[in-house]
């Protein structure tokens, strides 16, 4: 009887150790390289791909992420474009008085490592010139949050 109880105790201890040593669920964060690097024309569709990157184990896991993209401009030259104001970064959707088109905010599942594609159709009425393509990721974590904004120059050609 005592031998059977010891066996049960050892099995119970081994089971509790294996459960406590299980790997925590993996969390991911999303980023984009802003792929469209060529010249574009009014009415064209831009496809932006967001890639999942695993968070380090020590990092505070995200509880929620949103992604969005927008186009702002036109700018007369590169200097004006670099100093560009009129874009409210850090929130989805992208907004501001220079924003000519923006996607809606898209919620992402931070427990999955999917590739996410967002399409943005340039308005047919865009004037030729320099524009900023803006990608925003907004993160909410357990104790904090924040955002990441990536901006890339694109050129709109005459139709």
5 has pLDDT over 70: no
pLDDT, tens only, 85-106: 667 767 899 998 899 999 999 9
Distance of CA 24 to the CA centre of its chain: 23
- Domain span holding position 68: 24-156
Indicate the average pLDDT of the chain.
Answer: 77
Tokens describing residue 145: 């949050």
In a domain, 97, yes or no: yes
Prior bond to 116 cis, omega within 30?
Answer: no
What's the predicted TM-score (pTM) here? 0.74
In a domain, 90, yes or no: yes
In a domain, 3, yes or no: no
Residue whose token pair is 């186009």:
71
Least confident piece of the model among 45-54, 62-71, 108-117: 108-117
Rounded to an integer, what distance in angstroms lies between the CA atom of residue 50 and that of residue 33? 8
In a domain, 59, yes or no: yes
Rounded to an integer, what distance in angstroms lies between the CA atom of residue 133 and that of residue 70? 6
Residue 100 DSSP class? E
In a domain, 65, yes or no: yes
Q: Do the Cβ atoms of 147 and 136 come closer than 8 Å?
A: yes
The domain spanning residue 39 has which CATH number? 2.60.40.2550
Q: Do the Cβ atoms of 69 and 118 come closer than 8 Å?
A: yes
In a domain, 92, yes or no: yes
Work out how many domains the chain is built from and give that number: 1
Our CA dihedral for 9, 11, 14, 15, rounded to 10 degrees, sits at -110
């Amino acid at each position: 009887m005592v031998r059977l109880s010891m066996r049960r105790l050892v099995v119970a201890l081994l089971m509790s150790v294996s459960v406590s040593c299980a790997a925590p669920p993996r969390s991911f964060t999303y980023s984009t390289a802003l792929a469209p690097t060529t010249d574009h024309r009014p009415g064209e569709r831009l496809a932006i791909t967001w890639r999942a990157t695993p968070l380090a184990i020590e990092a505070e896991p995200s509880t929620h992420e949103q992604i969005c993209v927008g186009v702002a401009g036109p700018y007369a030259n590169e200097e004006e474009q670099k100093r560009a104001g009129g874009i409210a970064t850090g929130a989805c959707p992208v907004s501001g008085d220079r924003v000519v088109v923006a996607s809606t905010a898209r919620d992402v599942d931070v427990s999955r490592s999917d590739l996410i594609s967002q399409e943005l159709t340039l308005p047919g009425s865009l004037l030729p010139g320099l524009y900023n393509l803006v990608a925003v990721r907004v993160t909410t974590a357990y104790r904090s949050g924040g955002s990441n904004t990536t901006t890339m120059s694109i050129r709109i050609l005459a139709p």
